[in-house]
């Protein structure tokens, strides 16, 4: 995982591909006008995302030595929370791989701490929801302030 974070961080920061991804995420029309092949960039991004999701599924299934269809159910909310807490904008075009890594550490530390404190699963979901809503509220507030 750390290896993939480092690799993707370098690619996103120092390559033309990373620049194209940020351009398409920030404003698809402007990226097209600037000469970026938006369709190809999106296919590449979804291909990488699918590969990493599949790899994660294989690793998870190997850890629990089973492969039920609902094994990763609910993990998508944690992934979105990590990205938003890490500073990525829900409006697109903003965020870094390192911010996502930091958001992941925060979410997992919170989850582990709540498990250690023996907080019931229901309240863990509520606390995670409050953290996510707070991060989204800060993101929306920052976007409004930036666009003034």
Q: What one-character-per-residue DSSP string does 72-130 give?
A: TTTHHHHHHHHHHHTT--TTSS---HHHHHHHHHHHHHHHHHHHHTT--HHHHHHHHHH
Average pLDDT over residues 53-77: 86
Query: What distance in Å separates the CA atoms of residue 39 and residue 42, rounded to the nearest whole number?
Result: 5
Cβ-based neighbour number of residue 3 at 10 Å: 7
Residue 7: is its pLDDT beyond 80?
A: yes
Query: What distance in Å separates the CA atoms of residue 138 and residue 81, rounded to the nearest whole number?
Result: 13
Lowest mean pLDDT among 11-20, 57-66, 139-148: 139-148
CB 95 within 8 A of CB 88: yes
- The dihedral of CA 109, 113, 114, 115: what is its sign? positive
**Which pLDDT value is given to residue 143?**
77
Which residue, 44, 38, 16, is CA-closest to 26? 38
pLDDT grade for 129, boundaries at 50, 70 and 90: confident
CB 25 within 8 A of CB 91: no
**Which pLDDT value is given to residue 145?**
82
């Amino acid at each position: 995982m750390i290896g993939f974070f480092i690799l993707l961080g370098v690619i996103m920061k120092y390559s033309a591909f990373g620049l194209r991804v940020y351009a398409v995420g920030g404003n698809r029309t402007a990226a097209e006008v600037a000469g970026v092949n938006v369709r190809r960039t999106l296919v590449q991004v979804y291909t990488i995302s699918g590969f990493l999701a599949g790899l994660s599924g294989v690793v998870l299934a190997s850890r629990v030595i089973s492969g039920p269809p609902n094994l990763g159910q609910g993990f998508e909310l944690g992934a979105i929370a990590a990205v938003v807490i890490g500073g990525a904008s829900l409006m697109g075009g903003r965020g870094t791989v390192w911010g996502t890594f930091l958001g992941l550490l925060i979410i997992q530390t919170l989850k582990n701490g709540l498990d250690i404190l023996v907080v019931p699963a229901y309240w863990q979901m509520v606390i995670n929801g409050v953290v996510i809503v707070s991060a989204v509220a800060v993101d929306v507030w920052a976007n409004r302030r930036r666009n003034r």
